[in-house]
A and B are shown apart, each in its own frame.
Chain A
């Protein structure tokens, strides 16, 4: 082993520095979760900070905002899941029905675009469109006489989830459809030919051929989506939920970790514990989802 290693020293030299890099930037932070079991002190460091067992977790579970955080996290991610997951599939199916290649390509090109915009840009769009100061939504609704005075949409908790979810779909629908379009393109054309000979309508073909044929791809993405069910989003909530009025609906575990650990307080250990709780739940969900899928003949690994 050692001799083989030495013999190929130049090959090893290509990978070992990168592996050390991964060790430093990925594994050291993983090991850093031990500080959720400590009362971490920046000056004492991980090695000299006192151990407190599960105190940080107890504190988090008993925090007055815990249930609100859980509700928001689960509600937002579920809402995102039921909209953002099927939306690109529907888009791909609709695009597949288009015969004009130019129109199809135009729609695709346009709908990919938002994926390449940062959340800062998207949040600026949304803030501008929904603002009282020349916001297009207010202009439209006033023209339709649906509202009297302009509404400050981003300061009303009842609308926040709907806004976040719609923006998420808007940003990713086109890009997420790429994979499904590729899967549809891979369906054997002979299946369609024989179906239309049997007199099946386009709609019938969609349900009887296209959807079953792309279901393996759908299932893989379904498992991945379930594995991140507690990831309600971070940048979008941070940027669009800035108004303190929205706190009761916009605070999720991820943003809470950021606020408690870095932005508003330096409760490093406490915030790490909250983040670890979320990570553990995610891993459990991923494993359960994959087990269930395996029973039906699909699996991620």
Chain B
């Protein structure tokens, strides 16, 4: 197809705009990476944008040796793995039951669930509930409250409904109950939807920092995002680490004066983001599929 002159100009403008958008999206990542590899004392002189001026591993050495950061990373990994497994399994079983037309009370159950998508009690009643359940300062608060997701239930349910009925019938003839059919037949055939939803759940768990801010004081149970949030606030970092005592974070800062709060924050942030950036290119297509399933079918 031949383009007129104005149309060609429009094309050029669109390419320029989108390139600019892509640049603006990537620049903060790149700039942070560069700062994390630049000598802290040198960064504070200014002028670090696209390339490190005084390359160093020092910031990462400090960060990777810090016990609190290592601990927080472990907490985040454990929380993400356990929380995803729990949420996907519990929600899948629930959804399978909800997908059966013979389920007595199905309509009422569904309304019961949908209501929660539009109304909630708000922050304070939720806080008091967790408090009342004795879940404050436990690992459980990081994984249990998300175990049943109504959105994911709706997506799972749609998927299960579309499964060929013949498979399940043959399982039933072979003497499988609902649980047997689900675990032996349905679950193994649900790979794609499990993959998509697991990724969403995992990313949300990895990224969640507010739960721990609300419910966790014990430094041993703080996930990496919440720790980063603490570190980010340059003023509080010194106070907090000092008051907790025993952290080698501060000692390192004073030993090596070339490390600054900013360079450490950037290095910690890169460590925090790395898992997501590393899996991102592979899972991106799953994410997109998940969104479309959720928004168009749900």
A residues contacting B by CB (< 8 A) are 1, 4-5, 8, 10-15, 18-19, 21-22, 24-33, 35, 42, 91, 94-95, 97-98, 103, 106-107, 109-114, 116-121, 123-129, 131, 133-134, 136, 138-139, 150, 170, 173-175, 178-179, 182, 201-203, 235, 239, 242, 257-258, 261-262, 268, 271-272, 275-276, 279, 283, 286
- Give complex CA distance A113, B129 in Å: 35
B residues less than 8 Å from A31 (CB atoms): 121, 125
Segment at the interface with A among B64-72, B100-108, B163-171: B100-108
A15-B97, A129-B28, A257-B124 known; A134 vs B112 contact (CB < 8 Å)? no
B55 within 8 A of A: no
A242 and B296: CB pair below 8 A?
Answer: no
A116 and B103: CB pair below 8 A?
Answer: no
Report the minimal beta-carbon distance from B102 to chain A, rounded to whole angstroms.
7
Q: Which of B15, B49, B97, B105 has the most CB of A within 10 A?
A: B97
A4 and B104: CB pair below 8 A?
Answer: yes
Closest to B207 in A: A118
* Interface residue SS majority, chain B: helix
Closest to A272 in B: B124
Segment at the interface with A among B187-195, B238-246, B251-259, B261-269: B261-269
Q: A134-B44, A242-B233 are in contact. List 4 more A-B contacts (CB 8 A).
A: A12-B104, A29-B122, A33-B121, A128-B28
A97 and B292: CB pair below 8 A?
Answer: no
Report the minimal beta-carbon distance from A200 to chain B, rounded to whole angstroms.
12
B280 within 8 A of A: yes
Report the minimal beta-carbon distance from A222 to chain B, rounded to whole angstroms.
14
Interface readout for B264-298 with A: 1 if CB under 8 Å, 0 if not? 01100100110011001100100110011001100
A271 and B123: CB pair below 8 A?
Answer: yes
A residues less than 8 Å from B7 (CB atoms): 201-203
B148 and A118: CB pair below 8 A?
Answer: no
Residue from the list B97, B147, B207 in contact with A117, Cβ < 8 A = B207
Residue from the list A5, A14, A28, A138 in contact with B179, Cβ < 8 A = A14
- Give complex CA distance A109, B182 in Å: 35
B232 and A123: CB pair below 8 A?
Answer: yes
A residues less than 8 Å from B17 (CB atoms): 94
B24 and A170: CB pair below 8 A?
Answer: yes
Interface readout for B147-191 with A: 1 if CB under 8 Å, 0 if not? 110100100000000000000000000000111001000000000
B291 and A175: CB pair below 8 A?
Answer: yes
- Give complex CA distance A94, B233 in Å: 38
Report the minimal beta-carbon distance from B167 to chain A, rounded to whole angstroms.
17
B residues less than 8 Å from A109 (CB atoms): 281, 284
Chain B: interface size category:
35 or more
B179 and A10: CB pair below 8 A?
Answer: yes
A19 and B292: CB pair below 8 A?
Answer: no
Interface residues of B in 109-164 (CB under 8 A from A): 109, 112-113, 116, 118-129, 145, 147-148, 150, 153
A110-B25, A129-B31 known; A26 vs B120 contact (CB < 8 Å)? yes
B residues less than 8 Å from A131 (CB atoms): 262
List 23 A-B residue pairs with CB atoms under 8 Å apart, sorted by A's residue number: A8-B104, A12-B97, A22-B116, A26-B116, A29-B121, A29-B125, A32-B126, A32-B128, A33-B125, A42-B128, A97-B10, A107-B18, A117-B207, A120-B225, A120-B229, A124-B232, A127-B232, A128-B266, A134-B45, A239-B232, A257-B122, A262-B127, A283-B119
Would you list the 4 A-B pairs with minimal beta carbon distance, nearest first? A32-B125, A29-B121, A14-B97, A118-B207
Interface residues of B in 20-41 (CB under 8 A from A): 21-22, 24-29, 31-32, 35
B232 and A28: CB pair below 8 A?
Answer: no
B10 and A203: CB pair below 8 A?
Answer: yes
- Give complex CA distance A203, B109 in Å: 48
